[in-house]
Amino acid sequence: MDVTAEDGTARTGTVHTARGSYPVPTFMPVGTKGAVKALDSADLDTLGADVVLANTYHLMLRPGADVVAALGGLHRFTGWEGHTLTDSGGFQVHSLGPAVDDDGVTFTSVYDGLRIRLTPESAVEAQGLIGADIQMVLDVCASLPAEPAALRVAVDRTASWAARARIHHNQFEGRPEHQALFGIVQGGTDPDLRQESARRTVEVGFDGYGIGGLSVGEPRSAMLEALAATVPELPVGLPRYLMGVGDPIGMLEAVALGVDQFDCVAPTRMARHGTILTTEGRINLRNSVHVRDDSPLDARCGCSTCARWSRGYLRHLLSVREPTAWRLLSIHNLAQLLHLMQRARTAIAEQRLSGLRAEVAAVW
Amino acid sequence: MDVTAEDGTARTGTVHTARGSYPVPTFMPVGTKGAVKALDSADLDTLGADVVLANTYHLMLRPGADVVAALGGLHRFTGWEGHTLTDSGGFQVHSLGPAVDDDGVTFTSVYDGLRIRLTPESAVEAQGLIGADIQMVLDVCASLPAEPAALRVAVDRTASWAARARIHHNQFEGRPEHQALFGIVQGGTDPDLRQESARRTVEVGFDGYGIGGLSVGEPRSAMLEALAATVPELPVGLPRYLMGVGDPIGMLEAVALGVDQFDCVAPTRMARHGTILTTEGRINLRNSVHVRDDSPLDARCGCSTCARWSRGYLRHLLSVREPTAWRLLSIHNLAQLLHLMQRARTAIAEQRLSGLRAEVAAVW
């Protein structure tokens, strides 16, 4: 990536890929099963999203990585010509409490109860077939709080699996030729382990670095401490991706520490439950105060939802469970986060990120 | 309305309203609770819909006709600048098996179990507040097959309620100034009763005429016989609306008899269940033959769904229950019916409706 401006440890710039380039910092909407829930890829065009995630765990089970490949790969499958990234499936698998051994993980499919085996190599192959622009290595994510011994095993396995994934990605011919591979740093909230994990991951050598296992319930200060220990170990010229963070403050704090990209399902999940992000803070659209409110969700928002529909209408659709509400509210919440990252890029370029952080902190 | 061309008893032309005009024959998508399920009003713009329905029964209960009025009326509420029509709530109410007396109906709200009273006058007021371009009188819809005595009572009450609605609509100030009021013809499948009901409704005098109580399970031949008895009694210069019909063959047969407009929830409901209308007939998208099918739903369809997504992708989204599928498939099925009506208009203008009927009948 080209770093075009820095503001303290924060930076802005452009990540280059075989597909083209995308600006950072950026928020990446999550299309879990091949679509951001209730949205389509034309909506993502309109929103101006740069990178969209898909979940390997779900796609390898339904419709199957081979089916995605047969249908032309993730971009053609979803009709999305922007950038794509697939996670390794590791996070979903670990949340199911699978059997983990040195070689890989064994878990039960939520779809049909079949026992499935995932290894660093098979995760590379599934993601190779799915064919996103960027794939992530299979990592081991310890649940926090974790015993030191558990964290140690997670860090060691993550490092060993990273090396195996790197080798297999180089060899596997069933992937797009220029597909990028990102490593993942683990280590819980222990700064020393984070530093060690970062060093060992960088030693393997990747096209970018995920920072995993954070924002899983620990205090924000612990997350930021772990981040502060990790980021200086990562190469300046490669993107840094903090996995699973999507709240405005958390993102800006991480941007300040040098993080470039984020993903999170929370903004769209919150939208479907009526929790709406605005430039003046969070509102609960289910609150009856909005019943006769003809104003938009956020008068300062430029999204297609705010241009056309009122709080009163959207609240009505939400309360009678119309799927239309899920889509229109998700579009709005995503627009808020995409716009926040745009503001962060400008603020960094103009050396005023701390002003933006203060402004956002004042309303959240 | 201006009738611009006739082909046998079929006609095409333009219906004029205070809002503007719309071409007929036309299919009207149904936005039951203020949105066509899973769609928004921008989707209806893209589809080129002319008239959109909303259901008074649902809107009067949630969010309440007064709330729709407070939010600027149905057009502003839904963000839709095309034509709108509200049914009276009669059909939904009758399907609940309410207590019907000469003065009105009493039913139980599906939302909270409250007892609700609906009369010809209160239906006018609810629809006046909701503020569509066209409102429908409250009618009595006998379930078919019906005893002659039940049909007779339904026809008599419908006529009496039509007169009361006409008077109250003239007086009620809480409605848009130029809101149109359509009467409704009943009479089951008895041609004589249909003819009588049509005459008595026309005697009251309306801006257009609904034909209700058909397509409720009777054989198509019985429906067409009832229609053939009804239509000649209706004024040539006013629109004729066959309520609840939305299958390609049924619409074309009714168009041939002189019907101008249709509504039906079936096309969008079928879409959500994977039954897809195409120019080559119906397909079941859940069928596994479509898993790896990279072709569009219908190669001859001009809709936004067919332009971008494959059968394989849409089948995947449907089978993992993504709301995105409901929207994209509904858009397609509506596009098919809107396009069919466009073809019918052209065919009538060119005196070749029977050719179109034969063409469509060959694939259905």
- pLDDT value of residue B96: 83
DSSP string, A280-337: TEEEETTSGGGTT--S-S-TT--SHHHHH--HHHHHHHHHTT-HHHHHHHHHHHHHHH
Average of per-residue pLDDT across B337-347: 98
Give the span between the Cα atoms of A74 and A55, in whole angstroms: 11
From B197, B121, B119, select the one nearest B158 (Cα to Cα): B197
Q: Is A58 on the interface with B (CB under 8 A)?
A: yes
- pLDDT value of residue A98: 87
Q: Is the separation of the CB atoms in B69 and B131 below 8 Å?
A: yes
- pLDDT value of residue A343: 98
- pLDDT value of residue B128: 98
- pLDDT value of residue B296: 98
Query: Which tokens is B333 given?
Result: 């099925």
In the block, residue with structure tokens 């309360």: A319
Q: Is the separation of the CB atoms in B332 and B306 below 8 Å?
A: yes
Rounded to a whole number of angstroms, the distance between the first and last alpha carbons of chain A is 31
Q: Is A206 on the interface with B (CB under 8 A)?
A: no
pLDDT over 90 (residue B97): no
**SS3 label, residue B20:** coil
CATH of B2-264, one of 3.20.20.105, 3.20.20.70, 3.10.580.10, 3.40.190.10: 3.20.20.105
pLDDT over 90 (residue B299): yes
User: Where do the structural domains in chain B lie, given as residue ranges?
Assistant: 2-264, 265-355
- pLDDT value of residue A159: 98
Select the residue of B41, B63, B327 nearest A316 (Cβ to Cβ): B63
A322 and B35 within 8 Å at the Cβ level: the answer is: yes
Rg (CA), chain B: 20
Report how far apart, in Å, the C-alpha atoms of A8 and of each of A234, A249, A355 are.
16, 17, 13
Task: Tell me which chain A residues have a C-beta less than 8 angstroms from the C-beta of B42.
Answer: 304, 308
Select the residue of B37, B291, B304 nearest A322 (Cβ to Cβ): B37
- pLDDT band of B94, cuts 50, 70, 90: confident
From A6, A24, A5, select the one nearest A14 (Cα to Cα): A24
Give the span between the Cα atoms of A135 and A131, in whole angstroms: 8
Q: Cα A279 to the chain's mean position, in Å?
A: 22
Report how far apart, in Å, the C-alpha atoms of A291 and of each of A135, A232, B214, B271 are.
44, 49, 37, 31
- pLDDT band of B142, cuts 50, 70, 90: confident
- pLDDT value of residue B157: 97
- pLDDT band of B146, cuts 50, 70, 90: confident
Q: pTM to 2 decimals? A: 0.98
Residue type, B334: L
Determine the length of chain A: 364
CB contact residues (below 8 A), chain A span 2-41, against chain B: 33-41
Q: How many beta-carbon pairs below 8 A join chains A and B?
A: 124
Give the span between the Cα atoms of B343 and B349, in whole angstroms: 10
Q: Is the separation of the CB atoms in A364 and A331 below 8 Å?
A: no
Give the span between the Cα atoms of A104 and A114, in whole angstroms: 17
- pLDDT value of residue A73: 98
- Report the relative pairing of strands A10-16 and A2-7 from DSSP bridges: antiparallel
pLDDT beneath 50, residues of chain A:
none
For residue B103, indicate whether it is catalytic.
no
From A120, A116, A197, A117, select the one nearest A153 (Cα to Cα): A197
For the stretch B311-329, pLDDT in tens is: 999 999 999 999 999 999 9
Q: Is A75 on the interface with B (CB under 8 A)?
A: no
Q: Where are the beta strands (DSSP E) in A119-231?
A: 134-136, 180-185, 208-211
> Would you say the ipTM is above 0.85?
yes
In the block, residue with structure tokens 């990209």: A261
Q: For residue A314, how many C-alpha atoms fall within 13 Å in the half-sphere facing its CB?
A: 34
DSSP string, A212-251: -S-SSSS-HHHHHHHHHHHGGGS-TTS-EEETT---HHHH
Q: Is the separation of the CB atoms in A107 and A163 below 8 Å?
A: no
Give the span between the Cα atoms of A75 and A77, in whole angstroms: 5
Average of per-residue pLDDT across B73-88: 97
Q: Is B145 on the interface with A (CB under 8 A)?
A: no
- pLDDT value of residue A144: 80
Give the span between the Cα atoms of B342 and B239, in whole angstroms: 17
Among the ranges given (A19-23, A159-163, B106-110, B250-254), the one the predictor scored with the smallest mean pLDDT: B106-110
